[in-house]
Amino acid sequence: MTASSHDRPGRLAVGVVGVGRVGSALGHALALAGHTVVAAAGVSDASRERARERLPGVPLLPVQDVVAAADLVLLAVPDDALPPLIAGLTATDVKVEGKLLAHTSGRYGVRVLDPATRAGALPLAIHPVMTFTGRPDDVHRLAGICFGVTSPEPLRPVAEALVVEMGGEPVWIPEDRRALYHAALAGGANHLVTLVAESMDLLTRAGVEAPGRMLGPLLGAALDNALRLGVRGLTGPVVRGDAGTVAEHVTELARVSPEALGAYVALARLTADRALAAGLLRAEDAERLLDVLGGSRGDDTEGNRP
């Protein structure tokens, strides 16, 4: 903390449980906002090294000691580890009453924190909508991003203020919509990486020496169109109704990459359905496309890549 940060109201002692890619970045952002990161917990060598880089001088302690030392406990652990972590905390003698417990999971709202809430903890869910790679620029990526926020209504101003302090934009997600919210994000971001990696691999097989350089402008424009125009940003053979081209794609993918064929067929069907519903594709063209795609089952194709 700087001398001036001591004079700022509402400064908190922060404990970070899970100093991986997300926890270390958010802990660093909270420190920049004037809070004091007093302790952290990490298991792997990589997380401990990351804590030394991003949270210098912060002691690495057992989880119970981190919670005991903090006013705000940031729980930045994998989704599946969160329920047993909360159960373990409430089974110990560590006091959680009056402490802010904020987890970073996209999947969960605050009900996952119910055992701690019953013990007097103040539950928050603040999920940063960003990918974290562990690189130094992770912290800078927080500026201007959205955070999915869920909390009891009286704590909503607290959760939103913490997000704003970290440079983010709070977006309220109702408790019963968290799974849908997270599925949308994971489907968009994670599958996008898989699709791009597969496209690069197929271009390499087609003899392209720098597939990334070829794809960059195209995919950048496609993403921009999608974000600005939605489904009306569609281009390509499906929206044009070029069933013959799609059939050739299916044949070639079945030969070269059976794994990619299933994804291509599923996404082409979805694209045709959306284009038809938006009035971008004529019904007769959609029928021809779906005839081509209906006989293509990538999950039934046996064999490995050559």
pLDDT at 2 over 50: no
Last residue of a domain, one of 173, 192, 226: 173
The C-alpha atoms of residue 68 and residue 39 are separated, in whole angstroms, by 10
Residue 136 is predicted with a pLDDT of: 76
pLDDT digits 0-9 by tens, 238-270: 999 999 999 999 999 999 999 899 999 999 999
Residue 42 is predicted with a pLDDT of: 87
Number of domains in the chain: 2
pLDDT at 302 over 70: no
Domain hosting 166: range is 4-173
Structure-block tokens of residue 258:
């059976």
Q: Are 137 and 203 in a shared domain?
A: no
Domain presence at residue 94: yes
pLDDT at 54 over 80: yes
Contact 257, 304 (CB under 8 A): no
pLDDT band at 306 (very low <50, low <70, confident <90, very high): very low
Q: Are 244 and 148 in a shared domain?
A: no
Q: Are 64 and 168 in a shared domain?
A: yes
The C-alpha atoms of residue 108 and residue 131 are separated, in whole angstroms, by 18
Q: Are 269 and 294 in a shared domain?
A: yes
Domain presence at residue 305: no
Q: Are 49 and 146 in a shared domain?
A: yes
Q: Are 204 and 159 in a shared domain?
A: no
Quick one: what percent of the chain has pLDDT higher than 90?
82
pTM: 0.85
Contacts of 109 by beta carbon, 8 Å cutoff, 6+ apart? 125, 150, 173, 174, 175, 176, 178
Least confident of 86-90, 98-102, 138-142: 138-142
pLDDT at 305 over 50: no
pLDDT at 134 over 50: yes
